[in-house]
Amino acid sequence: MALVELERLVTRFELSHRAFNVVDGVSLTVGAGETVGLVGESGSGKSLTLRSIVHALPPKAVIAGGRISYDGRDFTRPSRRLLRSLRGHEIAMIFQDPTSALNPVLTVGDQLMETLRQTAGVRRTRDRERRAVELLRLVGVPEPDRRLQSYPHELSGGMAQRVVIALALVGEPRLLLADEPTSALDVTVQAQILQLLVDLQQRFEMSVLLVSHDLGVVAQTCRRVYVMYAGEVVEEANVSELFESPRHPYTVGLLASIPSIAEARRSERLPAIPGAPPDLAAVPSGCRFHPRCPLAIDECRVGAVPLQELGKHRAAACLRHELVTRERVVFAAAADTVGAAQ
């Protein structure tokens, strides 16, 4: 059974002058002990999907439709009591910018020990301090006793992210929501944080839903992946299948933009998907990707294109999915025009 399941989730911004969906009919599942990726360009609705699960939405955003279930229970509109009993305990979240997730006027120790008091119910100061040191050591913070006295501005980006992960682990959660946990880090530190997440997931047998715009990150950590575009899921697959045989042109474009050593040696420009994602308040008719798609035909511009089941954990929202291959869907280099082999 899935630990968390979204069924046609709709999250909407309701502003005074207009309303529009930022998450539009998203369905996904995360099994117990499974790591699942959610990828797409900035603005595709990935982070809002995570925030919807934990009900940490920004002002003016509301869950307007669909269903969220957690461990078999309806979690779409939880009571305040249920929300407090699960959030921070069974469900934890790592935010994108570690420095903004930490209080700048409190030490690392103050923040960890207060979280231990409120979330884990550790009452004695001595016990909280001992547990805080254990958590920092667990996530690879050197000299954890000394780091308890540090303020967030005294930490490097990688060290701050480790502290944020330690805070998320206080309640020993069953589900960890990771919102681009490595995007602000350099490549070396990114690799260390990813390996840390993999090790912690195995140690605590957590389920992880990982948001990223980097398919390389997903390849290193995830078993399955959902691809989002303009608020919708456009493809679902096992990671190996996605890399070997993508079935949506948008996914092909994302894969083509991954740099390789061979291309760098040949001084080739990376292919780029032309244009930009649509304004979610004025999405195009039909398939939302059709203005940027080299395989688009008239039918793609008319009616909505739902996800089509292509097998177990395999689906794509493309009328021409059987034609989609890396050879057939061609995106030109950034400064050139778009071509397609049809």
Q: Which two tokens stand for residue 197?
A: 């997440």
Residue 130 lies in a domain: yes
Residues 253, 141 within the same domain: no
Residues 81, 151 within the same domain: yes
Strand arrangement, sheet containing 2-14:
19-31, 2-14, 61-70, 73-74
Residues 199, 306 within the same domain: no
Question: For 73-122, what is each residue's pLDDT tens digit?
Answer: 999 999 999 998 999 899 999 988 888 889 999 999 999 999 999 888 88
What is the rounded CA–CA span in Å between residue 144 and residue 55?
32
Residue 231 lies in a domain: no
Residue 186 lies in a domain: yes
- Determine the angle formed by the axes of helices 157-168 and 125-138, rounding to 10 degrees: 120
Query: What letter does residue 284 receive in the DSSP assignment?
Result: P
Half-sphere exposure of 219 (CA within 13 A, CB side): 11
Q: Please, are residues 22 and 51 in contact by the beta-carbon 8 Å criterion?
A: no
Residue 49 lies in a domain: yes
Question: Which string of DSSP letters, residue by residue, matches 285-301?
Answer: SSSTTGGG-TT--GGGG
Residues 152, 57 within the same domain: yes
Q: Please, are residues 184 and 154 in contact by the beta-carbon 8 Å criterion?
A: no
188: confidence class by pLDDT, cuts 50, 70, 90: confident
CATH no. for residue 204?
3.40.50.300
In the chain, % of residues over pLDDT 90: 71
Residue 163 main-chain phi, psi, to 5 deg: -65, -40
Q: For residue 47, which of 177, 183, 158, 164 has the smallest C-alpha distance?
A: 177
Question: For 41-62, what is each residue's pLDDT tens digit?
Answer: 988 999 999 999 999 999 999 9
What is the rounded CA–CA span in Å between residue 200 and residue 197?
5
Q: Residue 221 CA to chain centroid, in angstroms?
A: 12
Residues 185, 283 within the same domain: no
Q: Please, are residues 306 and 288 in contact by the beta-carbon 8 Å criterion?
A: no
Please tell me the predicted confidence (pLDDT) of residue 337: 42
Residues 167, 75 within the same domain: yes
The partner residues of 209 in beta bridges, in order of sequence, read 36, 177
Sort 114 into a burial class: Cβ within 10 Å, 0-12 / 13-18 / 19+.
middle
Please tell me the predicted confidence (pLDDT) of residue 214: 85
* Number of structural domains the chain divides into: 2
Q: Residue 39: pLDDT above 60?
A: yes
Residue 160 lies in a domain: yes
Residues 64, 24 within the same domain: yes
Q: Please, are residues 36 and 79 in contact by the beta-carbon 8 Å criterion?
A: no
Query: What letter does residue 321 receive in the DSSP assignment?
Result: G
Please tell me the predicted confidence (pLDDT) of residue 226: 98
Q: Residue 328: pLDDT above 70?
A: yes
- Which helix (H) or strand (E) segment is 176 a member of? strand 175-179
> What's the average model confidence in pLDDT over 303-308?
91
Query: What letter does residue 78 receive in the DSSP assignment?
Result: -
Residues 101, 202 within the same domain: yes
Q: For residue 139, which of 99, 117, 108, 110 has the smallest C-alpha distance?
A: 108
Task: Give the global pTM.
Answer: 0.90
Please tell me the predicted confidence (pLDDT) of residue 339: 42
Q: Which two tokens stand for residue 51?
A: 């925030």
Residue 229 lies in a domain: no
- Residue ranges making up the domain that contains 36: 2-222
Residues 290, 187 within the same domain: no
Sort 219 into a burial class: Cβ within 10 Å, 0-12 / 13-18 / 19+.
middle
Q: Residue 341: pLDDT above 60?
A: no
Question: Which string of DSSP letters, residue by residue, matches 106-162?
Answer: S-HHHHHHHHHHHHS---SHHHHHHHHHHHHHHTT-SSHHHHTT--GGGS-HHHHHH
Q: What length does the chain have? A: 342
Residues 255, 290 within the same domain: yes
Which positions ≥6 away from 340 have C-beta within 8 Å? 294, 295, 328, 329, 330
Residues 261, 201 within the same domain: no
Please tell me the predicted confidence (pLDDT) of residue 325: 85
Please tell me the predicted confidence (pLDDT) of residue 333: 63
Residues 74, 195 within the same domain: yes
